[in-house]
Structure 1
């Protein structure tokens, strides 16, 4: 194959990776949107250990779900879905492209230095880089998703365009990146652990006969659950920081949340001091329930979409050769 033809083939492969990652994120987001709204509402609940009367109402997953249905209707479970769809669509594409590119780069470095990196180390590094790139590139959408999901019957923003204008005018461009450090601090170990565990589990589970065909889904679920438990406190910190600013008191539970002004460590210690360890893990149960179908759908869709596109390309090449 000529260098020009090889270049075109490589570009096509990258396009397939982007498309497969985007499809995986889109399908996954649609399926777990209601659970995501519940998780965010729970993470923003504040309960002071020294003030029993500060106990949030509604309290608990079922109570929060009933409250949403009663006051906001069934569509309340899809609040923030527009920026969330954009988030997951672009996040999936950036994540898988960065993961693949980093793996290829590490292979090139290893070959040049005649060094063999262990598979888990390579997966951890590639996952961490992919998570950092995807989180940073899509963070404004993540912040908008959180703020819309935290809106109750009182609308803080009239719409997506209005929210962008309002944040730019009142908080500046840095307002779109509130809590980014916590996001990166969470995603680096999470994605590193996730991809390491996923790559390690995918091979031994590949021979397991399951509905829909393979053990990819089980590997994705297991990797996601274990990784999520390890970094969940940083996710709570990120959510609390994302609703800081001039509109904080307008969100569900926002009026009770203290003002956090000195970064991740101060926010985490404040939550521990005032709410105890439980305060850092509010919504973990919903998050784990969400992580299972989300990761299963994401990895299953990614693997199948990529395989389908590669099959279509091979068929097209066969027809071209015959012609």
Structure 2
């Protein structure tokens, strides 16, 4: 009888763990898929709209002689200038005209592969740490495990007309071969510095706003509350941590395609070079599409997660 009790207890623990992991993972995948076009625009603005940068890597992929490289680098400056002056809709139009509508979801498969474990671990860890730093610890836990997929996502999304990386597995193999296994962890330091505060702020603002809203407007639906509070938390967290996110993206493209590195001085050195070349506004390059993305993205994330938690709670009650 005692053994049966232990087995039953173990089975219940497994079911409980799975029911806590699934909502966060599915919610992350759904929110990222819904906002993938804006996410790609954010990455393109972060890594392409500046001169004398890693942009030349992706313009010189596949070139075989010095004259071609020179022409491409020269064209790079013109393209960067054009992009810098363009609005979001113009870059969106370029993607549709040159790459097709499906290109908005370029890299989304690896994003889903990344977000399923990332969001699962984040929400699960928050439930178990149960302290002030729960969001930060959850973010560090998730980011450390899934960073190679995040790096691959950045490189796939940053590609425009020339496809140097032909998919997730090809990118992982190519980066490991050309840059070593540690090449998959470029930008991890900036990621860890940013993801802890990002999720800590996000979960804290969400919980505070949700509690306040429910206290004063109890008649509102759970979906509406989650969507509104999630959007607010996303704006707050992105505003604070966006500069580190930009540094992470640029470091992740270091050495892409086997080209020489541009930033060789770490996180602080990258910050200094960005500010020197682009001014203080440079560290917020791409913040506008990020705002457009983060409002629905985080809102959908929390709303979907809350709804799935309710579904699992009802299923658990019926067992």
Instruction: Rate the CA distance shift 1:209–1:275 in 2: closer, same or farther, 3 A.
Output: farther
Is the partner of 1:44 in helix, strand or coil? Answer: helix
2:59 pairs with 1:56: no
In 1, distance between residues paired with 2:199 and 2:94? Answer: 34
SS in structure 2 opposite 1:218?
Answer: helix
* 2:226 aligned residue: 216
Q: TM-score, normalised by structure 2?
A: 0.84
- Give me the whole-angstrom Cα distance separating, in 1, the residues matched to 2:242 and 2:98: 29
The aligned counterpart of 2:279 is: 276
Q: Distance in 2 between matches of 1:196 and 1:149?
A: 30
- Residue 148 (str. 1) matches residue 156 (str. 2): yes
In 1: Cα distance, 2:109 partner to 2:234 partner:
24
Other-structure match for 2:125:
98
Instruction: List alignment gaps of at least 5 residues for structure 1.
Output: 104-121, 250-254, 317-323
Partners of 2:6 and 2:170 lie apart in 1 by 49
Q: Deviations over 1:234-284 (max 9, x none)?
A: 0100010011104276xxxxx9xx800111000011100110122111111
Partners of 2:248 and 2:294 in 1: CA distance: 18
What is the 5 A alignment of 1:1-323? 5-47=8-50, 55-58=80-83, 59-103=86-130, 122=131, 124-206=132-214, 207=217, 209-210=219-220, 213-247=223-257, 259-316=262-319
Q: Is residue 39–residue 290 contact of structure 2 (8 Å, CA) maintained in 1?
A: yes
CA contact (8 A) 2:210 2:225 kept: yes
Partner Cα distance (1:279, 1:136) in 2? 27
Quick check: which one's helix share is greater?
2
Shift of the alpha carbon at 1:211?
A: 6.4
Task: Provide the TM-score with structure 1 as the length reference.
Answer: 0.83
What is the distance in 2 between the residues matched to 1:295 and 1:85? 15
1:205·1:214 contact (CA, 8 Å) conserved in 2? no
Give unpaired runs (5+ residues) of structure 2.
53-76
Aligned length: 288
Q: Deviations over 1:157-203 (max 9, x none)?
A: 12222211111110011111110000011111111111111111111
CA contact (8 A) 1:197 1:223 kept: yes
CA displacement 1:98-150 (0-9 Å, x = unmatched): 111212xxxxxxxxxxxxxxxxxx2x400000000111111111111110001
Root-mean-square deviation over aligned CA pairs:
2.3
CA contact (8 A) 1:48 1:54 kept: no
